[in-house]
Amino acid sequence: MTEWFERSAIELADLIRRREVSSREVMASFLARVEQVNPSVNAITAVLAERALAAAEEADRGEPVGPLHGVPLTVKENIDLFGTPTTDGVAAFAELMPALDAPVVQRLVAAGAIPFARTNLPELGLRLDTDNPLRGRTANPWDHTRTPGGSSGGEGAALSSGMSVLGLGNDIGGSLRNPSFCCGVVGFRPTMGRVPTAASAGPPDGALCGQLMATEGAMGRRVADVRLATTLLNGAHPRDPFSVDVAFERPAPPRRTAAVVVPAPGERWSSAVAAGVRAAADALAAAGWEVEEMELPELDRVNEIWMRIMSDDIPGLVAALGPLITPRLVEVLMDHTTLYDLAGIPPMGVYPERARLMRRWTEMFERHAVVVGPVWPEQAFVAGADMDQGIEMVARTLRHVTPAALLGLPAIAVPTGVVDGLPVGVQVQADRWHDAWCFEAGRDIEAALGSFTPPI
């Protein structure tokens, strides 16, 4: 059997469109790959083989319906996919069925994609590792003792190991970018409001932290695949009052300038992470970008305000859902509220400070089209360390991930290589609504440094 799972989503769509391969053959290749790999990785939580093969056969009988015609798609288990439960990684939600697809699923299905499997996440999507009592632990395909990242860790592991070619996840604290970094794939957090979020399983409207900072997004193995998916997901939807219509395409930056992040005083990155940032900077310079090193403005304050907004909502979340999740996760979540003196800034003072920081970073982007820096300060940690080591470790790991969430910025995670058997990578951020510039830089990094497949 031809290993169709090794191709990109765009390549597969083109082959299917030209009838050089059938959608059914492609789907069968991915289903076989899941059967081969998933027992050791546990990234896929449910396989929808019968319905996916039927949809693939229907795609083969008809004319192409969109740019992803006949291409397999995986969907994280906290995004509504009709006919399958939206478990959120919680045992009590094992049979929580949505009334209809989420808008992001609707849009990729309308473009021809075929959902064929669900992917794992931690309970409520609130960890940097992927493990829960309902579905169990997902392993990093590169090293099964390491985390695949969270919370879209099932997607990251499925993509990395060839069980998926394109996936849907979400991000409030790096949940698209964390697993992309850990597993060596591509994940993109769009500008807040560009991609709609809506649920029919459970409460339709989330907490304030989610309304301000959580977004759906795409993951894949190639920058071009994730870019295509993002253009298809783009735009307002009536079920999401915060979603907006803003064109994805932008004029090229007046100057292709890239700021390359350097560690702040007292901040330490592993040598592997630092080498990845340098490799990305060299790739951009070779592609004609003007590269300049800089420290990020007020990074400590950005992290503090992100944590304060999250912490304001945690007690209510624990009160409502604490009995449904593991006691240790409840303890770790409540530890978030102790990291800062929450009385030090009254709640109504947090949001003006957020606005000030948004302006501060926009000033930076007036000088630099994109900013390139680390995702995490170290490579994928040993599984479970986020629970064992507590909030200080979590906060340190998220230090470069939280700005995009707090400030509503687009950010793409792109792999840069493999060191000591584990992937490393960088993230590229741009100002709000300049998502296309992230992909421009990400494309140049990928072209120079390639993509990576673990030894499965």
| Contact between residue 170 and residue 177 where contact means Cβ atoms under 8 Å apart | no
| Contact between residue 15 and residue 27 where contact means Cβ atoms under 8 Å apart | no
| Contact between residue 221 and residue 8 where contact means Cβ atoms under 8 Å apart | yes
Total residues found in the chain within this entry: 456
| Contact between residue 332 and residue 387 where contact means Cβ atoms under 8 Å apart | yes
* Residue 175 known to be catalytic: yes
| Contact between residue 161 and residue 173 where contact means Cβ atoms under 8 Å apart | no
* Residue 76 known to be catalytic: yes
Q: Token pair 């490393």 is at which residue?
A: 424
β-strand pairing of 72-76 with 166-171:
parallel
Q: Token pair 């990291």 is at which residue?
A: 339
The whole-angstrom separation of Cα 454 and Cα 456 is 6
Q: Which of 8, 160, 161, 175 is the catalytic position?
A: 175
Q: Which of 8, 23, 151, 160 is the catalytic position?
A: 151
| Contact between residue 104 and residue 48 where contact means Cβ atoms under 8 Å apart | no
Phi/psi of residue 436, nearest 5 degrees: -60, -30
* Residue 271 known to be catalytic: no
The whole-angstrom separation of Cα 190 and Cα 409 is 7
The whole-angstrom separation of Cα 336 and Cα 320 is 17
Kindly list the catalytic residues.
Answer: 76, 151, 175
